[in-house]
Every structure is written in structure tokens, then in C-alpha cells.
Structure 1
């Protein structure tokens, strides 16, 4: 019998020198001028809602990414720094322009987001923190939560529903000790989610049928 060659008996041959496909570096491209950032802002807003501060952050990060790529391509640091300074200033100008044009409205953003988060079972405290992280000012956030009149008990019920606790426990323990432990566990979960004690107790004491009805009503409200 003759010796087999290294071809693997008709299998596919390996091409010498072929390793994993190398990823080509992303080119820096044109500098982030005000006009280009304006176009980037329109593209972003076509896909996502944003606040003025949030949009400015998006555009500023775009400037930062350009700077990193330009540095990797060997552009002089002094030239990069000058363009970055101008780009950051332009990002703020563009964000304000979007507000003036009505494309960005912090109050409308806050109201829509507060309603959605409340229906999803988020507490007022958690919603306020979320709005702050998105760039909504403290006064605007407070006014929004006040005007929205979010029903915290219903929000707590939505939270319990996701966790199958309280009125939504399909197999509630009958033994007093176990029932007490289950209630304390649910109370702890609601407290960590930012719900006050009185709200948590009211939600846990809600009749299962009423609890379900309140959640359904909130979704259609």
C-alpha cells in the first residue's frame, strides 16, 4: 500500500498562510463638522427619542470616536484636539437647534417614558432616576411625575405580576408561617425596586381579580 499524502483523501485543502480573517480598521473619515453632526442628529432622532442632553452626548461620543480613529491613522494630536473642541461645541449647538425645531422635547420625552415605565412596574423613584440618567432636568422630571399622576399601587402590582408574587401567586402557601415569609420576600423586592412601604402593603393586599383589572386598565389608559 502506498502512503497517503497530506491532502486528507479528497477533502478540502487548506490554503497556506490563511489565518482568521483580519478586521479592517474603520477609517476616521471626514471631520465632525456642525453640518455633519446635524445630519447625524437627524438620523439618530429618526430611530430614537432623545432629550437635549442625551442627543448632545450621542453627538459628543461620535466626535470622540472620530478622534480615536484619526489618532490611529497618525493625525497630529494638535490637529485632532482642535477639531474635537470645535466638534464638541457644535454638538451642543446642534442639540439646541433640534429643540428649537421641535424635534427634541424633554417634557414630552419624560411624559412618554414615565408612562411606559410605570406600566412596566417601575416605581416613581426608579422612573426619576431613569429620567435623570437620560438627561431630563430635575424640575422637568418632578413636574412630569406630578402631572402624569402615576398610580404607584398599580405599578407595584405590575412589578408583582412579573415576579408571580402577592395577588399573582398561583399557588399561595396556606400555612401561616410560609405565607408570612412569602409576603416578606415580596415586600423586600418592592422595597428594592423603590416602592414605599405603604404602597407595597396596598399592592399585596389587593384582591387578585382587582389587581389584574387595574393592570389591564393601565395599559388602555
Structure 2
């Protein structure tokens, strides 16, 4: 049982407002993040350490996040646009982008443009997803098994695409250059 981790006997490290500010600055310097994600990180650091400052720790976290926003180190709208575009390029659909932005703590007002952009690029994203996964027109051989076809539709749905769009792409047989060109042309119009 040597692999079992035992709880540390060390006492919690002291943490004050200035050290918390240093941690926040290092975090935003290293990662593109949202205000909510920064506050979660600082909250975790507060739980892991012993607070030694006289100020309220939650108020200190809010003040640090406000300062980072004033300095433009945090911008939820810009973060949403960046995150949404990256997910769309990876072949993920608008539903998945919306869900991830919600998890990242981005409110609807800041996420609106990113979600609209993901919805506008739905076809291009779905075709990219099919290309990466070798589904439909990008498969090596035609798929005759209906159960396997439904599993592929489910994979599209998990990636945030509509089942109707998935079925439309999966209906194109491998090797049909004309239908593939039509899909690519439609994806380019997104």
C-alpha cells in the first residue's frame, strides 16, 4: 500500500492580501481566464492556506479581480470570443461553446457575440469535426450499420452540433467529390 497518499501533516501556509495579489497576477500572466475562474482560483488558495490579514478574504479577492479588470488583465467578453473561436476551430458546436462559457462563469451579455459567431460557423465546424473523426464523406469506406450511424450522430450531438446537421453530413458517402465540394462551399459561406 505504498501508493496511498497520506494527508500532509504540515500546517497551512500563511496567506495575506499582498501574497494573494501576487498569486492572482501570476495566474493571469500565465493563463487566459475569466473573472469567475480567477475568483475560483483565489478561493481555492484561501482554502489551502491560513489567512493572516485583517481584511475580509472574500472582499480581498473581489478587490483583486476588480483591479485586474481595470488593468485589462481580465476581460470576459474578449475571453469568451477567444474561447468560442478556439472551440469552433476544434469542431465543437454552438451548444458546446455556450455550455463551456457558462462553466467558465461568463454571463450571457459577454458570451453573446461568441455564441453568435459559433452559430454562424456551425456548418464549417461540423464539417471539421467530421473530417477529424473520419465520419461521413471522410470515412475510408461507406457505413452500412444503422447503429454505428446513430453512434456517429450521438458523437456530433456531444460535440454540440444538431442531429439534423449531423445526419446531413453523414448522408454524404465517402468518395462523392461533388457532394463534398458542396459541403465545403456551404461551410465556406458560414
Q: TM-score range by the shorter chain?
A: 0.7 to 0.9
CA distance in 2, matches of 1:24, 1:188: 44
Equivalent of residue 58 in structure 1, options 19, 41, 45: 41
Per-residue deviation, 1:191: 2.3
CA distance in 1, matches of 2:141, 2:32: 41
Q: Is the 8 A contact 1:191 1:197 kept in 2?
A: yes
CA distance in 2, matches of 1:214, 1:41: 44
1:116–1:213 distance in 2 versus 1, CA, 3 Å: farther
1:26–1:47 distance in 2 versus 1, CA, 3 Å: farther
Equivalent of residue 21 in structure 2, options 4, 25, 38: 38
Q: Is the 8 A contact 1:51 1:135 kept in 2?
A: yes
CA distance in 2, matches of 1:99, 1:105: 6
Q: Deviations over 1:113-152 (max 9, x none)?
A: 1010011111111111101111111222123222565411
Per-residue deviation, 1:48: 0.3
Q: How does 1:155-194 map to 2 (within 5 A)?
A: 155-173=125-143, 178=144, 180-194=146-160
Kindly name which structure, 1 or 2, has the bigger radius of gyration based on alpha carbons.
Answer: 1
Q: Deviations over 1:36-72 (max 9, x none)?
A: 22111110111101111111111111111004xxxxx
Unpaired segments ≥5 residues, structure 1: 1-21, 68-79
Q: How does 1:62-73 map to 2 (within 5 A)?
A: 62-67=45-50
Equivalent of residue 102 in structure 1, options 49, 60, 72: 72
Per-residue deviation, 1:25: 5.1
Structure 2 match to 1:131: 101
Q: Is the 8 A contact 1:51 1:109 kept in 2?
A: yes
Per-residue deviation, 1:161: 2.4
Q: How does the TM-score come out when normalised to structure 2?
A: 0.78
Structure 2 match to 1:72: none
Q: Is the 8 A contact 1:45 1:103 kept in 2?
A: yes
1:170–1:42 distance in 2 versus 1, CA, 3 Å: same
Q: Is the 8 A contact 1:126 1:193 kept in 2?
A: yes
Greater displacement, 187-196 / 43-52: 187-196
Q: How does 1:65-84 map to 2 (within 5 A)?
A: 65-67=48-50
Greater displacement, 93-102 / 196-205: 196-205
CA distance in 2, matches of 1:85, 1:186: 54
Matched, 1:47 2:13: no
CA distance in 1, matches of 2:130, 2:82: 22
Unpaired segments ≥5 residues, structure 2: 1-5, 173-178
